Amino acid sequence: MLPRSSSRDERHLELDKRAGEAASVIRKFAAEKSPILLVTHFDADGISAGSVILAAVKRLGAPAHLRAIDNLSEKVLEELEDVEADLAIFTDIGSGYLSIIGKALRHKEIVIADHHQALGEQPPNSHHFNTHLLGFDGSVEISGAGTAYLLAKALDPQNKDLAPMALVGCLGDQQDKGPKRTFTGLNEGILRDAVEMKLVEVAQDLILFGRQTRPVHRAIASTTTPFLPGLSGEEDRCLALLDAADISTKVDDRWRTIVDLSMEEKRRLVDKIIQHTISLRMSGEVALELVGNVYTLTREGPWTPLRDAREFATLLNACGRMGKAGLGIALGLGDRGAAFEEAQRVYAEYRKGLAKYMNWLTGDPSVLRQKGHVVMVRGEGVIDENMTGAISSLVSSSNLFGGSKVTLVVTSTKDGQAKVSARATDQLVAKGVNLGKFLQDLSPNYGGNGGGHAIAAGATLESERLDKFLEEFGRIIDSVVS
């Protein structure tokens, strides 16, 4: 492993070397026309990563089969071992599960291209391309899709045209954490590739969902990153806010969109949103996240949500979490028409589901428990196991609880296990909170597994041991933070 203190050149050289090694393994199997199994995570970044690597492998003419999964358990791995393929490529998942992958996939060659914190012994039949281990922070500088893109580029420089999907993935993982929602680290290089190829254009604007496609009040109400309490999901209140800001919603009979507003109107709108959040006794800072870089995918049809890279990511996230990862992959590979129509329907359902959960958890005080530095949502029997991550991200970004807290969303799985999704804040990470590491270390003591990034992580545990786990987790967070 190369520490972050190594020089930039050293880290880049090692990165190219590791990507080259993994690429030569893939090329060898592809040349033999050997079936290849692709395994990817089911969220927006994972679907983008899967699309990138599937496109690259198809271009080599190899027969490939892709599976999107939410978690790497021994059971899932046994099923993967049964798939007829000599090579398995993991993207956006795998590095945290090296030992169990090695045990289960004994008869396959393995390539892992991931940006998560790693754990376990690297299996002898594997090639591990992990950008985080190479000294590039996998929570902000490079996503799973970005890592898959670097591998695709090592396979063939012509794969540079896949850069837009790598950016969609990194936006899905919320890696636009530089000033004014810019990219940093390796993500910046990927953006350069995409801009050079004229596939992506960068501009500054208000970052509201449906910036080019939705009436302004609906764009504000549809925005959930960050979650704006009292506005997200509340179209009527957004209309009232526009009225108070003296911004007309229509020209003649046509609804205006964010891109139709003048600079002065945009400024008034942000000021009103800041006043609104302050009136709820929250910091107005959250509204500043609404101004920054927007990334336009130039090849996408005008007036479609896919043209905005963030909205593309939201659509993919909806597909994955609603059990339609295959549809997301189709979009990632360039299918439009019926696939796009279907994705929009899935997205509408996803939004309805999220709004229902948010109403439930803000309407019933007993659902939310705050203790020390942890805010917990007990969603057993209510929250779908695939939705915990999305809800945890929403609650965490909502600032509903003031101050910097760890958010933990808990539910039960259909197999009777407990599932948790944890989110921290930049301030807590700066104080030493590393959720991925804590969950990686703790979960095996409670009959499960876990991992992820410092700021966002998850775990599956034995239900009977959940309460004890939660106690220990809370103690660890409080001891690190205070």
Please classify residue 333 by burial: count the beta carbons closer than 10 Å to its beta carbon, then call 0-12 exposed, 13-18 middle and 19+ buried.
middle
Closer to ligand C5P at the Cβ: 241 or 455?
Answer: 455
Listed in sequence order, the residues at least 6 apart from 259 whose beta carbon sits closer than 8 Å to its beta carbon are: 205, 211, 212
Span from 19-27, 285-293, 443-451, 462-470 in contact with ligand C5P (CB under 6 A): 443-451
- Closest approach, Cβ 144 to Zn ion, in A, equals 4
Binding partner at 452 among ligand C5P, Zn ion, none, C-beta below 5 to 8 Å by kind: ligand C5P
Site for ligand C5P in 79-108 (CB under 6 A): 92-93, 96
Asked if residue 409 lies in contact with residue 386, where contact means CB atoms within 8 angstroms, the answer is no
Binding partner at 423 among ligand C5P, Zn ion, none, C-beta below 5 to 8 Å by kind: ligand C5P
- Closest approach, Cβ 325 to ligand C5P, in A, equals 13
For residues 389 and 141, give the distance between their C-alpha atoms in angstroms, rounded to a whole number: 21
For residues 125 and 110, give the distance between their C-alpha atoms in angstroms, rounded to a whole number: 6
φ, ψ (nearest 5 deg) of residue 119:
-150, 140
- Tokens 């807590």 belong to 428
Site for ligand C5P in 106-135 (CB under 6 A): 116
Binding partner at 450 among ligand C5P, Zn ion, none, C-beta below 5 to 8 Å by kind: ligand C5P
Span from 39-47, 191-199, 201-209, 461-469 in contact with ligand C5P (CB under 6 A): 39-47
Closer to ligand C5P at the Cβ: 257 or 317?
Answer: 317
- Residue 449 binds ligand C5P (CB under 6 A): yes
- Residue 41 binds ligand C5P (CB under 6 A): yes
Q: How many CB atoms lie within 10 A of CB 343?
A: 25
- Residue 45 binds ligand C5P (CB under 6 A): yes
Kindly tell me which residue out of 452, 469, 470, 477 binds ligand C5P, with binding defined by CB under 6 A.
452
Site for ligand C5P in 389-408 (CB under 6 A): 389, 392-393
Closer to ligand C5P at the Cβ: 10 or 462?
Answer: 462
- Residue 450 binds ligand C5P (CB under 6 A): yes
For residue 302, give both structure tokens. Answer: 């005008």
- Tokens 């804040």 belong to 425
Binding partner at 449 among ligand C5P, Zn ion, none, C-beta below 5 to 8 Å by kind: ligand C5P
- Residue 423 binds ligand C5P (CB under 6 A): yes
- Closest approach, Cβ 265 to ligand C5P, in A, equals 30
For residues 248 and 268, give the distance between their C-alpha atoms in angstroms, rounded to a whole number: 12
Closer to ligand C5P at the Cβ: 46 or 50?
Answer: 46
Chain positions contacting ligand C5P, by CB under 6 A = 41, 43, 45-46, 71, 92-93, 96, 116, 144, 173-174, 388-389, 392-393, 421, 423, 449-453, 455-460
